Amino acid sequence: MNQYETRELCNAFFDAYENGRLDVLERVLADDCIISHNVFGRETTKQDNLTKYPDSYVGQRRRTYNDRIVNTFDDGFVIQYTLNGVQYTLNGVMHTGHKGALWICIVARCRDGRITRIDEYMDSSKFAAWTGPPRRAADGGPR
Amino acid sequence: MTSADTEHRRLCHTLFDAIEQGDIAAVETCYAPEMTMWFNVSGQTTTREQNLAALVAGKELHRRRTYNDRVIHTFEDGFVAQYSLNVVARDGTKVTLWACLVGEVHDGRIVKLMEYLDAGKFKPPRGKAAAT
């Protein structure tokens, strides 16, 4: 893969995440792709991620991957970006409109037009600010 | 492999080795005069002088700090290093962080560093273990 193909793959991956295109994610991730998170200290599989994708969006109205800085190397890329999200309550009525942002860096390895490994680096101490104040159910109780 | 690849790798290793050994003079040689550093934990950009001062302060806090398992990739004007940062504090407490450092290089010196790590790992454990 040349650097242009690698950049295209990188943006296709993030656009798909942004737009909920599981079909594209299925295509751009190699079947044996491994995803590693510095926060959890463990690796997950492609299938783990595709299965849990809907859960990761719970409580979020919108999620965008902005300020993308992409650099490519022989067999992969590094992308630095700002993950912006707008949260909403699960009952779909009391939208808090809270906006949160995380600064994240991903290093990915690629082969034959697909991503074979993702290492994600973020700061878990920002999670509370990212999700905002606790959501409340329609009856005012905690959720 | 290009010469830039080799030079960037060497520069990256020189930086980590110098920080490990507390050799601030050697760190200085890696940095361009206008060097800045951005940190995902604070969201702030600091100057070369502020960074060097922080490294000196870190020496006082930590008995040992090693940058292990280094995986380095280079590109035309920089590098990305993934590593395990093993810290031993003066009280013997050990902490391991999985971190990532992106560096921009001009004329053989680092002009910008961007570090990503999980500051949540610095917190003492509360109650039962986190669900990881």
Q: Which residue of B has its CA nearest to A124?
A: B120
Contact A80 B41 (CB under 8 A): no
Residue A55 pLDDT: 82
Residue A78 pLDDT: 97
In a domain, A74, yes or no: yes
Judged by a CB distance cut-off of 8 A, whether residue B33 touches chain A is no
Residues 71-100 of A with CB under 8 A from B: 71-74, 76, 78, 80
Which two structure tokens, joined as six digits, stand for B91?
């009280």
Domain that holds residue B73: 3-119
pLDDT at position A38 over 90: yes
- Provide the CATH number for the domain around residue B17: 3.10.450.50
- Provide the CATH number for the domain around residue A42: 3.10.450.50
Residue B11 pLDDT: 98
Residue B2 pLDDT: 63
More confident call, A93 vs A135: A135
Residue A98 pLDDT: 77
Residue B1 to chain A, least CA–CA distance (Å): 9
Which two structure tokens, joined as six digits, stand for B37?
């550093």
Q: Are strands A42-45 and B62-75 parallel, antiparallel or unpaired?
A: unpaired
Q: How many domains does chain A have?
A: 1
In a domain, B129, yes or no: no
Residue B13 pLDDT: 98
pLDDT at position A62 over 70: yes
Q: Which residue of A has its CA nearest to B122?
A: A125
In a domain, B113, yes or no: yes
Residue A141 pLDDT: 41
In a domain, B128, yes or no: no
Phi, psi of A2 (to 5 degrees): -90, 175
In a domain, A140, yes or no: no
Percent of chain A with pLDDT over 70: 85
Contact B98 A73 (CB under 8 A): no
Q: Which residue of A has its CA nearest to B131?
A: A40
pLDDT at position A140 over 60: no
Mutate to test the interface with B, among A6, A10, A43, A121 (most CBs of B within 10 A): A121
Q: What residues contact B58, with CB distance under 8 A and at least 6 apart?
A: B65
Residue B22 pLDDT: 92
User: Region A34-39: what's the mean pLDDT?
Assistant: 95
Percent of chain A with pLDDT over 90: 55
Domain that holds residue A55: 3-130
Q: How many domains does chain B have?
A: 1
Judged by a CB distance cut-off of 8 A, whether residue B73 touches chain A is yes
What is the complex's ipTM, to 2 decimals? 0.84
Residue spans of chain B under pLDDT 70: 1-2, 123-132
Judged by a CB distance cut-off of 8 A, whether residue B119 touches chain A is yes
Q: Can you name the residues that pair with A111 across neighbouring β-strands?
A: A114
Residue A58 pLDDT: 73
In a domain, A50, yes or no: yes
In a domain, B127, yes or no: no
Give tens-digit pLDDT for A70-108.
Answer: 999 999 999 998 877 665 443 333 346 777 788 999 999
In a domain, A66, yes or no: yes
Q: Are strands A114-121 and B45-47 parallel, antiparallel or unpaired?
A: unpaired
In a domain, B81, yes or no: yes
Mean pLDDT lowest among A13-22, A46-55, B7-16, B123-132: B123-132
Q: Give the integer Cα–Cα distance in Å for A107 and A90.
A: 32
Can you give chain B as a three-state secondary structure string? CCHHHHHHHHHHHHHHHHHHCCCHHHHHHHEEEEEEEEECCCCCEEEHHHHHHHHHHHHHHEEEEEEEEEEEEEECCEEEEEEEEEEEECCCCEEEEEEEEEEEEECCEEEEEEEECCHHHHCCCCCCCCCC
In a domain, B109, yes or no: yes
